[in-house]
Amino acid sequence: MIILMTFDTADIISKDDKPLARGFPACGICGDTFHETNSPISASLSANSSSRLPFGLRLPCPNQHPYCISCLSQYILTKLDPNGNGGGCVESVVFPIPCPECPIDQWVHGIEDEVAKKILGEKGMILWHQQRLLDSIPRYYCPNPRCSALVQIHEDVTNPQAVCPSCDTHMCIPCKTTWHENVTCEEFQSLPLDERSPEDQQLLQLVKEKKWRRCPNCRRVIELAHGCNHLTCLCKTHFCFKCGGKL
């Protein structure tokens, strides 16, 4: 006896028991297939309700990773507004937003404005441009190595001192370091690092013992736990851990 079995040639079943349409790319985040289009947001708005697959695109990264509009937009919005309150991310610099799968050193420019316009809706683009503006404002972080909180800088240019809202450390704004009483910024900068304060002496000694590095831009102390020598600081500065120079 011969038993004939038929299959729907339009679909196959994924490992998660989800139907995957043949000939369509699979999202690198959720694994579902999608319709690839140049502008997923426009296609989604004009598509009828009978469309079986969502829309998506391939990022212009070196590996052209594919993502559906739902996953990629959520990924971007999580970076732009991690607290979900519409206020953006004021604690740290967001841009560039990397590809979810590419190493940062392979696609350093990240997702550009033109790609965001194809993925995010009107509210999403407002957040996008709002964060661009926030990232353009200089950030100042507490020089206390046990704190590193974001410090709000006042508008009075005649007062070079600020106070950390987290640990009350007094900070010199021009020098981006602990306040140096009765010493001008020029005099302070001319001092060797190991002569500036007892705290600095202890920190520098620890840095030497642990073989850590300071970011060449914001001076944060960074430890390399694993991986290559190409590091990216919280301030988005790329530098070499081996020599300490900017990349």
**pLDDT tens by residue, 42-95:** 998 887 655 578 999 999 999 999 999 999 999 999 999 998 888 888 778 899
Tell me the average pLDDT of the chain: 83
Please, what sign has the CA dihedral across residues 197, 202, 205, 211?
Answer: negative
The average pLDDT across 166-188 equals 87
Domain boundaries defined on the chain: 11-136, 139-195, 211-247
* Predicted confidence band of residue 16 (pLDDT cuts 50, 70, 90): very low
CA distance 195 to 175: 15
How many other C-beta atoms can be found within 10 angstroms of the C-beta atom of residue 41?
A: 21
Hey, what amino acid is at 228?
Answer: C
The average pLDDT across 214-234 equals 82
- Which position has the higher pLDDT, 125 or 211? 125
Conformational region of residue 236, where left means phi above 0, alpha means psi within -120 to 50, and beta covers everything else:
left
Of the chain, the percentage scoring pLDDT greater than 70 comes to 85
Is the pTM higher than 0.75? The answer reads: no
Q: Is the pLDDT of residue 196 over 50?
A: yes
> What torsion do the CA atoms of 218, 222, 227, 232 make, to the nearest 10 degrees?
-10
Most confident residue range from 85-89, 132-136, 205-209 = 132-136
Question: In sequence order, which residues have a C-beta less than 8 Å from that of residue 201 and are 6 or more positions away?
Answer: 194, 195
Q: Is the pLDDT of residue 146 over 60?
A: yes
Burial class (CB in 10 A: 0-12, 13-18, 19+), 111: buried
